Structure 1
Amino acid sequence: MEKLTITTPSDVLSFIGHTVGFWPQESLVCITLDENSIGATLRIDLPRQPGQELPYARTVAHYLTSDTSATSILFAVYTSATAGPGEARPYAGTIAALTGVLAEQGITIRDGLFVGDDTFSPYDGEPGTSLALPVSSAQTSAINAEFIYRGSFVEPTDRITLPSTSQEATKAAAVEHHMETIRTWSTDTALQQGRKLWADMLDSTVFPSDDSCHALVANLQFPAIRDRLIADIPGVDEPMQQILFAQTQAAPKWSRIEWAQQLLLRAYTRTTAEHAAPVLTAIGYINWWEGKGSKAHQFLQLALDTDPAYRLARLSDQMIGSGIVAGWNMNKDTAYKTLPFDVP
């Protein structure tokens, strides 16, 4: 695939929006760079309490240094907070602390943007000067047009809206029917049949029937089968534990992972709250693999809303909350990326 070049600040904002999938609010976004090639993108909420600048900076640096090839970063501060002429930019202490912490790791800050509600400007520029550009210019950038051409779009926020479901009694009965059948099989047979069903879905180019969706949801109710089916998503032939924690030598097949998420969302609409937790947890895993920690957290919380005792969702959410990054995102050759980019 031909590489694209980010040349303007508007291109940077477009890239951020499409990469994280939504327009950030009260956020710090950092993009790692190796020479002129873009690496990982991190979005994290801005600190809410004063006096936390250094611990916050160390947390951000911990994530950024997971990209071992990074030599510099670009950053953007998204906030509704303002500063008058002669006043320091909002979160200046945070950026100063981050600059120092990254310098200790041999990483420099190449440039920064201050993104307000209506305009954006260089972070180190004087507030209110003519350097400010309208935020809407991101919608007319060349990079934005390329992303849209490739089928990408930017949500206004990161809040997840799940598709609605209906006919709950019928769907629950259909899933239970498949679960009864699975219980009659030996462990090996049940696992083999579940993997074949899932492989056929992943290898297909069309959405499965409602009955196949019910069967998939039924298989996901059994932990041993569920874990194996999640591990089958990336299309990597390595030990299951290494796949689940995104620590494989081979790069995952990201297009297959994206298709799996669409299949799981379709299966979700064919089930009920009674059986939804494993489906939502699997989608949470996919978002974690892709480096979308905030969305992964939301899907896992939705899983726990349907079943507060669902152990895999709770353990996975604790793992993400502790700052553990999916192993694939620590290597630019295996990390999830929408398009290859360079910066001048």
Structure 2
Amino acid sequence: MTPSCEPPTEPDAADISLSTPMDLLSAIPYLVGYIPADSLVLVGLDAKQITATLRVDLPRTDQPVTKLRISPDVLRRNKVEAAVIAGYGPPERVTRCVDHLRRMLAAQNIELVDALRVTDGTFWSYVCQEPACCPPEGRPVNPGDSPVDAAFTYAGMRALPHRQAVTAQLEPVKGPTRAAVTRATNQVRKLLDDTDAMFSARETLLDEARTILAKATEAGAPLPEIDQTVRLAAALTDAKLQTEAMTLVDSHSPHKMVDLWLWVTRHVAPAFRARPAALLGFAAWRCGNGVLATEAVRRSLTDDPHCPLAMVLGRLLDEGVPPSSIPKITGELLLPLPCSPAG
């Protein structure tokens, strides 16, 4: 995967009306997951509903606009019939990219609803010529202070301040909590290293893990304790358990499963982290949060470059495959997903 291009995200909010350029610009940070900078964002529409949001880095002025890496294939996969373009950056970098995308949309018979540029807190439209709506001097953007912001917040969505804040969500815990993780990890290793009791130890871990997962799906259930968290992660070497965990993502609230697997990813040692990170990626992808899914997959593959679930998700994200196009897992594994044991 490449850091210059992020996969489409699918909206996951209540029916929020976006009727003006300001409404759309207020919505984009929630659709992307953070406030864009030096970016080009394409919001895809189908019958006036948002189907996907794609963000890419703006190419430098000495780079060709083809570096945008937005392809017609991605737009087709996400059933984009109309689009709004929003460029964030100086005019000399934004305008040529907007022109490139406008030509591509026209070639695909995709309607351009609007094309906007945001520079230093002010926006302009390349399409709207109404001074009352989009005056020549531009209009100020007021992020975080509109009815649209309130509606997205009420729907449980949030916009992080920048891209780095997404990555920071996955950082391992530190201090006394980290010490507790180390102690729990050593206890599990000691249990699994006992050759005479290895089989019974693994069965015990699996039973405990299933109990933890079942409890995690209950309304209002707290996140597991450190010892439980480490034992759950260690048990995920079992392919069947990982399939069961994926089934829970599809049969319960994926947002709740994002919270669980983000917690586990942050509270385990690297040797046990690839599987929960991959499950975090799967849950985030199901939620339509392509940015968090990308970071989770990257973290998983850093710990285990051969983790099949992370590898499959990486391909789906790279190719812009929307989660709605993949059937839910209901107990039968649809993809070769279990991770290889950590070395």
The answer for the alignment partner of 1:108 in structure 2 is 111
Structure 2 CA distance for aligned equivalents of residues 314 and 93 of structure 1: 35
Q: 2:173 aligns with which of 158, 164, 174?
A: 164
Structure 1 CA distance for aligned equivalents of residues 66 and 225 of structure 2: 53
User: Per-residue deviation at 1:12?
Assistant: 0.9
CA contact (8 A) 1:303 1:310 kept: no
User: Per-residue deviation at 1:96?
Assistant: 2.9
Structure 1 CA distance for aligned equivalents of residues 15 and 156 of structure 2: 17
Q: Give the structure-2-normalised TM-score.
A: 0.73
Counterparts of 1:167-182 in structure 2, within 5 Å, are: 167=179, 168-176=181-189
Counterparts of 1:32-47 in structure 2, within 5 Å, are: 32-47=44-59
Distance change (3 Å), C-alpha of 1:102 and 1:188: farther
Distance change (3 Å), C-alpha of 1:153 and 1:51: closer
The answer for the alignment partner of 1:153 in structure 2 is 158
The answer for the alignment partner of 2:148 in structure 1 is 143
The answer for the alignment partner of 1:62 in structure 2 is 73
Q: 2:214 aligns with which of 186, 196, 199?
A: 199
CA contact (8 A) 1:179 1:218 kept: no
Structure 2 CA distance for aligned equivalents of residues 258 and 20 of structure 1: 16
Q: 2:138 aligns with which of 128, 132, 135?
A: 132
CA contact (8 A) 2:114 2:128 kept: no
User: Per-residue deviation at 1:310?
Assistant: 4.4
User: Per-residue deviation at 1:211?
Assistant: 3.4
Distance change (3 Å), C-alpha of 1:201 and 1:179: farther
SS of 1:65's equivalent?
A: helix
User: Per-residue deviation at 1:330?
Assistant: 8.5
User: Per-residue deviation at 1:140?
Assistant: 1.9
SS of 1:233's equivalent?
A: helix
Structure 1 CA distance for aligned equivalents of residues 65 and 291 of structure 2: 21
Q: Give the structure-1-normalised TM-score.
A: 0.73
**Paired positions, count:** 300
CA RMSD of aligned residues (A): 3.5
Structure 2 CA distance for aligned equivalents of residues 197 and 121 of structure 1: 52
The answer for the alignment partner of 1:283 in structure 2 is 280
Q: 2:36 aligns with which of 13, 24, 30?
A: 24
Q: Percent identity?
A: 23
Distance change (3 Å), C-alpha of 1:174 and 1:329: farther
SS of 2:299's equivalent?
A: helix
Alignment deviations for residues 159-217 of structure 1 (CA, whole Å, 9 cap, x no partner): 21125241143021244367579952599997676445313312342213333323311
Q: 2:245 aligns with which of 229, 242, 245?
A: 229
The answer as to 2:91 corresponding to 1:75 is: no
Alignment deviations for residues 137-175 of structure 1 (CA, whole Å, 9 cap, x no partner): 232211012223344321111221125241143021244
The answer for the alignment partner of 2:257 in structure 1 is 260
Counterparts of 1:298-317 in structure 2, within 5 Å, are: 298-305=295-302, 307-312=303-308, 315-316=311-312
Q: 1:14 aligns with which of 22, 26, 37?
A: 26
Alignment deviations for residues 84-107 of structure 1 (CA, whole Å, 9 cap, x no partner): xxxxxx343433332233233321
Structure 2 CA distance for aligned equivalents of residues 28 and 41 of structure 1: 11
SS of 1:153's equivalent?
A: coil
Amino acid at match of 2:75: L
Structure 2 CA distance for aligned equivalents of residues 328 and 34 of structure 1: 14
User: Per-residue deviation at 1:41?
Assistant: 1.7
Amino acid at match of 2:189: E
Deviates more, 1:21-30 or 1:277-286: 277-286
User: Per-residue deviation at 1:114?
Assistant: 0.2
CA contact (8 A) 1:300 1:316 kept: no
CA contact (8 A) 1:122 1:131 kept: no
CA contact (8 A) 1:29 1:41 kept: yes
Counterparts of 1:201-216 in structure 2, within 5 Å, are: 201-207=216-222, 208-216=224-232
The answer as to 2:96 corresponding to 1:96 is: no
Unaligned runs of 5+ in 2: 1-12, 328-343
CA contact (8 A) 1:10 1:138 kept: no
CA contact (8 A) 2:294 2:314 kept: no
Distance change (3 Å), C-alpha of 1:178 and 1:11: farther
Alignment deviations for residues 20-48 of structure 1 (CA, whole Å, 9 cap, x no partner): 21001222211122343332222222334
